[in-house]
Amino acid sequence: MRFLPVFLDLKAGPVVLIGAGELLRAKLRVLAAAGARLRVHAIDGNQDLGLSSGDAERIEIASGDPLTADLSGVIAIVCAGAGDVGVAMSVRAKALGLPVNVMDDLEHSSFIFPAIVDRGDVVVAVGTGGTSPVVARRVREKIEALLPARIGELAEFIGRFRKSVNERIAEFPLRRRFWERVIDGPIGAAVLAGRKGEADASLKAISDPAEFARADKPEGSVALVGAGPGDPDLLTIKALRALQDADIVFHDELVSSEILDRIRRDTTRVPVGRRVGKPGIGQDAINKRMIEAAQAGQRVVRLKGGDPFVFGRGGEEVEALRAAGIAYSIIPGITAGLGGAADFEVPLTYRHEATRITFLTAHKARDAENVDWTTLTDTRMTVVVYMGLTAAPAVRAGLFAAGRSPETPVGVFARVTRPDAQGAIGTLRDLPELVRRIQGGPAILIIGDVVRHAGSLGRQTPKKTPKQIISDLLDAAE
C-alpha cells in the first residue's frame, strides 16, 4: 500500500487549486461539494468558473503567479490541467512540506484523489494507488448500490450520543457491544427508515447503557474456522463474518498474512502454530487457552490453514470444547488438496480412470513408514499426501515396495492458490528430483494417473474482465 487512505480536515485552512479549463472546473466542483475553502488560480485567465452565489464566502479567485504566492496556512495544493506550472508547484509544495496532487502525475504527487462514495458522515474512499481510476469507479458504483441511503444519518445519530454513552461505559468491549446492539436493533432500523424522533426517544430511554449492552452479551463461544490454503478470496462468507465478530483469534503459522488482514483491527491475535522442526506451544496448551477465553465471555476463533477436519486437529479441539461445556461451531475451509487440484487443474477423480481418493499426511519419514502402502496400489486411486516434501523419499520407497509402478504420474505443488504457487510434474521414479525443484513449502503430493490431465504450471489469465470479477465478488457479499 503506497498511499495511506486518510481524511483531510477541510476546516483547518484553505486548499490552493491551480489549473485551467474543464479539468480545473471539475476538480473545483469536487472540492466545493466537500465544503473546502479554496484559493483558485486559473492560469489560462478564464475566471468564469461557474460559481454560485453561495460559494463566494469560501472560494477566492486569486491573481498573480501561484509559484510566488503566499502559502501561509495552506493545507494542500491541487493542480488540474496546470501543465508545467503543476510540476513546478509540486517542487515548491514538497520543499514546504505541503501535500500536493498533480492530476494524472504520480511522480509529482504526494497524495491522490480516490473515488468517493458520499453518504454525509459516512464517506467511502476507493483507491487503486493512482494506477486505474476506472477500476476505482467500478468498485464505487457497487458500494453505492450496497449502502443504505441513510447510512450517513445513522453515523450522525450515533455521533450525537457517543460521548455521553461512552462516559457511562468504562469497558471498551462493552461499549462496542452497546453500539452493535443499537446499530443492529430497532433503534438503528428506525434511523435508516427515517424515523429519527423515534430513535432519539428510544436511545434516551436507556437508563443503564452498560446493562443494556450486557443484556445482549453472547456467551463465550469458539468457532473452528478453515482459512483455506492461502488465497484470501477463497474464505467463505461465514468465515469472514466470524473473523469480523471475533474478540480473539488463535491462528496457525501457515495462515497467510493476507487472510490475517481480514480480521477486525481491534481483535487480539495470538499465533499458536508451529512449523516442522520448530517449537510450538502444544495442542493441550492451545485447548486450554481457547477454553479460558470462551469462559471469560469472549468470541473465540481458532483459525486453521485449510480445513479444521482435514489434518487440522479439529476433532481433538472439539472433544476438548465438549468436555469443557463450551459452545462451538465449525466453519469448513477449502483443504489444500482441493485447492492445489483446482490451482493446477488436476482432476482428483476422472470418470473410468480415477474413482477413489485417499488423503494422508507425512510430516516426517517415520509418518510414511507407518502407512500401509499395500492399500494404495490401485491405479484407479488418487493419493494426496499433505506436508510431503520431507518424507517424499520414504513415500516413494513405500509405494515401490507395495508394487506401485515407477511410471505413476506425480505432481508436487507448493503454496497452492497463492501468488507464488509452484508445481513440478513427473513420475514416481523422479519424485526426489521434483521435490528439489520446489523452493519451500508447504506442499502436497498428488499421485496417480489424473496428474496427466494437469493444466499449465504457469498462472492462468482470468477469463473474466476486471469489472466482472469485482462485480462477482461484491455480489457475493450482498
- CATH of residue 49's domain is 3.40.50.720
Q: Which of 215, 234, 260 is the last residue of a domain?
A: 215
Q: Is 102 exposed, middle or buried (0-12, 13-18, 19+ CB in 10 A)?
A: buried
By the 8 A CB rule, do 234 and 228 touch? yes
Domain that holds residue 321: 221-334
Distance of CA 312 to the CA centre of its chain: 23
Distance of CA 25 to the CA centre of its chain: 36
Contacts 24+ apart (CB under 8 A), 272-280: 273/305, 276/363, 276/364, 276/387, 276/390
Q: Which of 275, 304, 334 is the last residue of a domain?
A: 334
Q: CA separation (Å) from 433 to 26, 175, 401, 404, 453? A: 61, 58, 19, 18, 21
Tell me how far apart the alpha carbons of residues 436 and 425 are, in angstroms, rounded to a whole number: 12
Closest CA to 471 of 140, 235, 148, 237: 140
Q: What is the DSSP letter of 311?
A: S
Tell me how far apart the alpha carbons of residues 22 and 399 are, in angstroms, rounded to a whole number: 73
Residues 107, 20 share a domain: yes
464 assigned to some structural domain? no
By the 8 A CB rule, do 153 and 186 touch? no
445 assigned to some structural domain? yes
314 assigned to some structural domain? yes
| Cell 484523489 sits on residue | 113
Tell me how far apart the alpha carbons of residues 94 and 100 are, in angstroms, rounded to a whole number: 7
Beta-carbon contacts of residue 155 (< 8 Å; ≥ 6 apart) = 119, 120, 121, 122
Whole-structure pTM value: 0.59
472 assigned to some structural domain? no
Residues 286, 328 share a domain: yes
Q: Is 35 exposed, middle or buried (0-12, 13-18, 19+ CB in 10 A)?
A: exposed
- CATH of residue 185's domain is 1.10.8
Q: Is 60 helix (H, G, I), strand (E, B) or coil?
A: strand
pLDDT in tens, the chain (478 residues): 678 888 888 888 899 999 999 999 889 888 888 888 899 999 988 877 777 766 777 888 888 899 999 999 999 999 999 999 999 999 999 999 999 999 988 899 999 888 888 787 888 888 888 778 888 888 888 888 777 788 889 999 999 998 998 888 888 888 888 888 888 788 888 888 888 899 999 999 999 888 888 875 556 889 999 999 989 889 888 888 889 888 899 998 889 889 999 898 889 999 987 655 555 678 899 999 999 999 988 889 999 999 999 988 999 999 999 999 988 889 999 999 999 999 899 999 998 889 999 999 876 656 666 788 888 888 899 999 998 888 888 889 889 989 889 999 999 999 999 888 889 999 999 898 899 898 887 899 999 999 999 886 654 444 444 445 455 545 544 4
239 assigned to some structural domain? yes
226 assigned to some structural domain? yes
Residues 363, 400 share a domain: yes
Q: Which of 300, 334, 368 is the last residue of a domain?
A: 334
7 assigned to some structural domain? no
Residues 236, 210 share a domain: no
127 assigned to some structural domain? no
By the 8 A CB rule, do 140 and 133 touch? no
- The domain tally of the chain equals 4
Residues 269, 250 share a domain: yes
Helix axes 196-204, 151-168, angle to 10 degrees: 10
Residues 367, 418 share a domain: yes
- CATH of residue 388's domain is 3.30.950.10
Instruction: Annotate 347-357 with b (16+ C-beta within 10 A) or e (fewer).
Output: ebebeeebeeb
Q: Tell me which amino acid residue 148 is.
A: P
Q: Tell me which amino acid residue 455 is.
A: G
> For residue 188, what is its C-alpha cell?
438503528
